[in-house]
Copies of this chain bind each other. A is one copy, B any other.
């Protein structure tokens, strides 16, 4: 029996999530998967929170690199966001956990930084870029949360108290969520034009020196 390592623990955690879902990922279940006592995990991770953070880091490592480095700002933003959403959509429970508890942790901060870079390259002023980023993130987060919501009854079978939902039920039940998401994303991007649109490339006056934005993040903000 090989000795316990962080890598082995995270791999086992992924296996447990695949088998029993995100809620089934308890310290005891994870320990059983590893053939070990639950308390043994505390030697490698300070607690459940830290373990999940490690899992998130592993699952989102390649997310930011999806952002193309060149092109029109709205195309770059669209690519970053749709890639990110399609990746996170595969683990919606994990995505919701990230969103609700890790909003200011490195994996998420990397996405903020990447989107901000795109907006600023596109000619947005700092305030407008922050605002645009906030609006886009709100939309993305809402989508991810809804993707994780329990299916519930079909809209067309609702009680008569909801006549419009009922009448539009068939259309409601068959709508393509990906298409809906992208239509909304387009709507927002179109409405968020910078005052002075610029082609990518030339630097902005107020933009600080920055290194490679896409490099590996520090494990937590304390390291920085």
Q: A138-B143, A142-B142, A188-B188 known; 16 other A-B pairs, CB under 8 Å?
A: A100-B145, A103-B146, A103-B150, A104-B151, A126-B167, A130-B171, A134-B180, A138-B142, A138-B184, A139-B139, A161-B215, A161-B217, A162-B224, A163-B210, A164-B210, A191-B191
Q: A181: CB under 8 A from chain B?
A: yes
Q: Is the CB of B150 within 8 A of A183?
A: no
A83-113 interface bits toward B, Cβ cutoff 8 Å, 1 = contact, 0 = none? 0000000000000100111011100011011
A3 surroundings in chain B (CB, below 8 A): none
Q: A140: CB under 8 A from chain B?
A: yes
Q: A190: CB under 8 A from chain B?
A: yes
Give the number of times this chain occurs in the complex, counting copies.
Answer: 2
Interface size class of A (residues with CB under 8 A): 35 or more
In the bound complex, how far is the Cα of B161 from the Cα of A221, in angstroms?
A: 9
Q: Is the CB of B187 within 8 A of A117?
A: no
Q: Is the CB of B180 within 8 A of A187?
A: no
Q: Is the CB of A181 within 8 A of B138?
A: yes
25 CB < 8 A contacts A-B: A96-B100, A99-B145, A105-B152, A113-B164, A120-B164, A127-B171, A130-B172, A131-B183, A134-B175, A135-B139, A135-B180, A135-B183, A138-B142, A138-B143, A139-B184, A141-B142, A141-B145, A153-B221, A159-B221, A164-B207, A164-B210, A187-B192, A188-B188, A188-B191, A191-B191
A205-223 interface bits toward B, Cβ cutoff 8 Å, 1 = contact, 0 = none? 0111111010101100101
